[in-house]
Amino acid sequence: MSRFRVRTPTVRLRRTVQLLVLALFLAVVLAARPQPGQRLPVWLESFFHLDPLIPVVTGLAAHAVQWAFLLSVVTVVVTVLLGRVFCGWFCPLGTVHTLVGRLFERWRPARQREHWHRGQLAKYYVLAALLVLALFGVQWLVLLDPLVILYRTLTVALWPAAQGGVESTATAIYQADPGVGTWRVTSVTEPVYRTVRDLLFVKQQQSFPNSGFVLGFFLFITGLNFVQRRFWCRYICPLGALLGLLAWRPWLVRKLDTGACNQCDLCGLTCHGAASTGPGTGWKPQECLGCLNCTSACAAGGLKFRWELPWRHGLAPERVNLSRRGMLEAAAGGVVAAMVLRASPQARGATFHPLLLRPPGAADEADFLARCTACGLCMKVCPTGGLHPTLFEAGLDGLFTPRLVPRIGYCDYECNACGQVCPTAAIRPLPLAEKKAVRLGLAAFDVGRCLPYAYGRNCMVCEEHCPVPDKAIYFAPVTVTGRDGVPTELLRPHVDPAHCTGCGICENVCPFKDQPAIRVTSANESRHAANQPILGSGSGYPF
């Protein structure tokens, strides 16, 4: 049986809006490009600021109100008036689910019923567990907030992969330089490639070591559309649940002309949110995504959306009944999850992972974890491509949060971009002068590898690149005797901890490309009074 498709002007309008918002989201992601020294526009964070789940959860976890999220009041008001139209018309991840769901349509049973199922209550329990978790100071939006998931996946996985594909193709064509006679294909492909590179891609191609895990999770949640369309939105999404609660007593309600209804159930067959409870009859406003498929599909014209003051609803819409037992179990789940996520010594502040170099301005670890949603915006704007998502360095609690990997990219002395864009102030927006004084960690020489120590050769690469005006790396002359018995004058480098900011450029430029002979660890980071192995201001340091 061929599938029933709804193609009315209202549905076309909704689809157009969905695609436009998705395109806008992509454009905003692409616009977040590394521009060292430039002030970044505030609208780069605007999508996150429209999301009411982020301030609720991070606010509870960090005990802080973030005024930037006042914009999310717009979403709240629209939801109270119109229902979950954010999910049906606006949410970019919702649109991706819609598109993927359509791709999978041919494999699902024809005329699969889209009626409400008790399992849809699960997302409300996910939300309850998330809120309890936040009360214990643990914020875990990393795998649950739709905007965070999509932004991070685009930034860390999809866009770098696209850039890699374009670069490799352009390089292959350039090297082959095919053509006919004197005419070359590159005369066409090179200008196209240069335009695409300059408009869409970052100059220094970014690549992220853990992108496979980020992509894997994204493929998993979009793959759930194979089971049922918009599976994520119906059963899991806590933002959908929060908006569902706001739509508890809607002003815009679906009305049925029972005389016209012939029980054909076209409304149920086409419902994106599975808000219908049976042919024509029941409708749960908390689950309705406002896609308008039902009213458009009703051949009898029996379904309409009408404005009604909530206290005057003639026909009370069906409620979603959350059980007390279910809520208690969700709360218990939140408590257990808090214990598990905060069980690592790192999360308790008992140890400090040497590789966990947080961006400049990052709050102390507990506060940072309470705020950072792992959205990836800071990673996108870092001009050196130095910020990368963690895997286990920060514990499960800090999954996919940013860390500096100096081997790949250092913290530019003249840059404070990550603090400018962080939507939750997990990285504080520091003026450049203040940022320059922040210590991310401390550099230390590996004297078993460093050329002047281990191989009797002079090398000044790290000292030359150290950006601190007074140089954190300095030399001490020594005389060493080689195996031939000939004494040689050498300059051996040392790190002055009073000046080192842990920016990592020395590690980045060290001639050893496998394991650099100078490495930065989190020791001495400004964020933690307990992670300071070297006391004092540095005057009188023995070298």
Minimum gap (Å) between residue 34 Cβ and ligand SF4: 8
What Å distances lie between residue 252 and 74, 308, 373, CA to CA? 17, 6, 33
Task: Closer to ligand SF4 by CB, 300 or 498: give it.
Answer: 498
Strands (DSSP E) contained in 318-439 are 387-389, 402-404
Quick check: 521 and 442 in contact, CB under 8 A? yes
Quick check: 378 and 387 in contact, CB under 8 A? yes
Using CA atoms, how far apart are residues 399 and 373, in angstroms rounded to an integer? 9
Minimum gap (Å) between residue 517 Cβ and ligand SF4: 12
What Å distances lie between residue 502 and 227, 354, 513, CA to CA? 48, 12, 19
Residue 224 makes CB contacts below 8 A (sequence gap 6+) with 231, 232
Residue 140 makes CB contacts below 8 A (sequence gap 6+) with 130, 133, 337, 341, 397
Using CA atoms, how far apart are residues 241 and 234, in angstroms rounded to an integer? 9
Using CA atoms, how far apart are residues 87 and 96, in angstroms rounded to an integer? 11
Minimum gap (Å) between residue 56 Cβ and ligand SF4: 15
Q: Which residues bind ligand SF4 (CB under 6 A)?
A: 359-360, 372-378, 381-384, 386-387, 401-402, 404, 411-412, 415-418, 421-424, 426-427, 443, 466, 468, 472-473, 495, 500-506, 520
Task: Closer to ligand SF4 by CB, 243 or 375: give it.
Answer: 375
Placement of tokens 């895990």 in the chain: 213
- Take residue 170 and report the two structure tokens written for it: 């352009």
Residue 429: which of 27, 68, 53, 29 has the closest Cα? Answer: 68
Task: Closer to ligand SF4 by CB, 206 or 293: give it.
Answer: 206
Helix (H) / strand (E) containing 100:
helix 92-103
Which residues make beta-bridge pairs with 494? 474
Task: Closer to ligand SF4 by CB, 276 or 416: give it.
Answer: 416
Minimum gap (Å) between residue 425 Cβ and ligand SF4: 8
Task: Closer to ligand SF4 by CB, 334 or 385: give it.
Answer: 385
Minimum gap (Å) between residue 36 Cβ and ligand SF4: 7
Task: Closer to ligand SF4 by CB, 84 or 353: give it.
Answer: 353
Minimum gap (Å) between residue 451 Cβ and ligand SF4: 16
Minimum gap (Å) between residue 465 Cβ and ligand SF4: 6
Task: Closer to ligand SF4 by CB, 242 or 473: give it.
Answer: 473
Minimum gap (Å) between residue 507 Cβ and ligand SF4: 7
Task: Closer to ligand SF4 by CB, 62 or 421: give it.
Answer: 421
- 487 three-state secondary structure: strand
Contacts 24+ apart (CB under 8 A), 444-447: 444/495, 444/518, 444/519, 444/520, 444/521, 444/523, 445/493, 445/494, 445/495, 445/517, 445/518, 446/515, 446/516, 446/517, 446/518, 446/519
- 72 three-state secondary structure: helix
- Take residue 490 and report the two structure tokens written for it: 């050498």
- Which pairing describes strands 252-256 and 303-307: parallel, antiparallel, or unpaired? antiparallel
Task: Closer to ligand SF4 by CB, 269 or 505: give it.
Answer: 505
Measured in Å, how far apart are the chain's first and last C-alpha atoms? 83
Minimum gap (Å) between residue 179 Cβ and ligand SF4: 42
Minimum gap (Å) between residue 442 Cβ and ligand SF4: 7
Residue 48: which of 28, 77, 23, 27 has the closest Cα? Answer: 28
Task: Closer to ligand SF4 by CB, 394 or 520: give it.
Answer: 520
Minimum gap (Å) between residue 419 Cβ and ligand SF4: 7
Task: Closer to ligand SF4 by CB, 241 or 523: give it.
Answer: 523
Task: Closer to ligand SF4 by CB, 165 or 209: give it.
Answer: 209
- Take residue 477 and report the two structure tokens written for it: 């002359």
Minimum gap (Å) between residue 334 Cβ and ligand SF4: 21
Using CA atoms, how far apart are residues 76 and 9, in angstroms rounded to an integer? 27
Minimum gap (Å) between residue 59 Cβ and ligand SF4: 14
Using CA atoms, how far apart are residues 475 and 469, in angstroms rounded to an integer? 15
Task: Closer to ligand SF4 by CB, 251 or 413: give it.
Answer: 413
Using CA atoms, how far apart are residues 379 and 388, in angstroms rounded to an integer? 6
Task: Closer to ligand SF4 by CB, 346 or 401: give it.
Answer: 401
Minimum gap (Å) between residue 410 Cβ and ligand SF4: 7
Using CA atoms, how far apart are residues 412 and 95, in angstroms rounded to an integer? 37
Which residues make beta-bridge pairs with 179? 184
